Amino acid sequence: MRAELASTVAERIRARMQDLTAAERRLARALLAEYPILGLGPVSQFVASARVSPPTGLRFVAKLGFGSYPDFQRSLHQEIQVRISSPWNPYVLHPDAGRGLVAEGFEALGQNLVETARGLSEVEVEAVVALIADARRRLYSLGGRVSHVLSAYLIRQVHKLRPGTRLLPPGSPRLIDELVDLGRRDVVIAFDYRPYQQSTIAFARDAARRGVTVVLITDARMSPAADAARHVLTFDLESPSPFDSPIGAFAIVEVLLAGTARRLGNAGRERIRRIDQYNGASIWDDTNRCGDDVIHRPPRA
């Protein structure tokens, strides 16, 4: 999508993310984390949020297609006016005698996926897929107390497509030990959404200081780990329950897996075939299982 054809400032940012410098990306992420309020103040306040200079801020709005900072702010004000005048959002689950729980719940979750897709940059997603598919790079994945399940699912599936993958332990003192072996050819994909986990944030920042490419998958408010990430993919948290939903994050993982499989092509398919072949071999029968299953050893003579 071309930036000048995007309908909102946020969409322009996501369309142009790969064209921005590192400092401009910090500014973009700061704005998206407090969107659109952060952009309504004076330029000095706006750039201070990302610790960049006023000229960087002006170059940033110019890359988004605005002739000046006031033009940029007028666009944000127009977005706010549209939101105010828009009809009530029907995708929040409320008791409705005419509809069932399934219909209402799935409608809410469907809107979650729509909003997640709207918040993603095609260019950013393709860049992350390229990193995951590059078997010359070691790939690490890290989650927190709840998001560990996302991390584990991603790395387990990627391992079926390429070697050199590792799941990092969440929130463990052993996490610090993992930094020793990380280098510039490595990639860390970190999952962190509210409430953000300090151990994940600290690890991402330390890894980035070692030259590691950090990818962050987080909610739209953005984990503080965003300041250490080369690429940030965000998802919606809305849910029909009282709890934040990770369904958008799972959808992002599925898209990344699909793109990785497509990029690896025959090499990925052959690796899956070999893994399936080993899993189906006679030595892995019901009395001597491997993997996550219990091994039933024969009794001693």
**Per-residue pLDDT tens for 141-173?**
999 989 999 999 999 999 999 999 999 998 777
Q: Could you give the 3-state DSSP secondary structure of residue 139?
A: strand
The residue extents of the domains of the chain are 3-88, 115-278
Instruction: With a cut of 70, say whether residue 286 has pLDDT above it.
Output: no
Question: Which residues on adjacent β-strands are paired with residue 217?
Answer: 191, 233
- Show Cβ contacts of residue 279 under 8 Å, excluding neighbours closer than 6 positions: none
Cβ-in-10-Å burial (0-12, 13-18, 19+) of 161 comes to: buried
Instruction: With a cut of 50, say whether residue 1 has pLDDT above it.
Output: no
Kindly report the pTM of this predicted structure. Answer: 0.76
> According to the model, what pLDDT value does residue 203 have?
95
Q: Is 199 left (phi over 0), alpha (psi -120 to 50) or beta?
A: alpha
CATH fold for the domain made of 115-278: Rossmann fold (3.40.50)
**% the chain with pLDDT above 70:** 85
Instruction: With a cut of 70, say whether residue 47 has pLDDT above it.
Output: yes
Instruction: With a cut of 50, say whether residue 290 has pLDDT above it.
Output: no
Q: C-alpha distances in angstroms, 143 versus 30, 59, 116, 218, 259?
A: 22, 35, 19, 10, 21
> According to the model, what pLDDT value does residue 173 have?
76
What strand order describes the sheet that includes 231-235? 165-167, 139-142, 187-191, 213-219, 231-235
Instruction: With a cut of 70, say whether residue 295 has pLDDT above it.
Output: no
> According to the model, what pLDDT value does residue 301 have?
46
**Could you tell me which CATH number the domain at 3-88 has?**
1.10.10.10
If one counts every other C-beta atom within 10 angstroms of the C-beta of residue 49, the result is 18
Candidates 31, 109, 142; CA nearest to 101 is 109
Radius of gyration of the CA atoms of the chain, in A:
22
Name the average pLDDT for the chain. Answer: 86
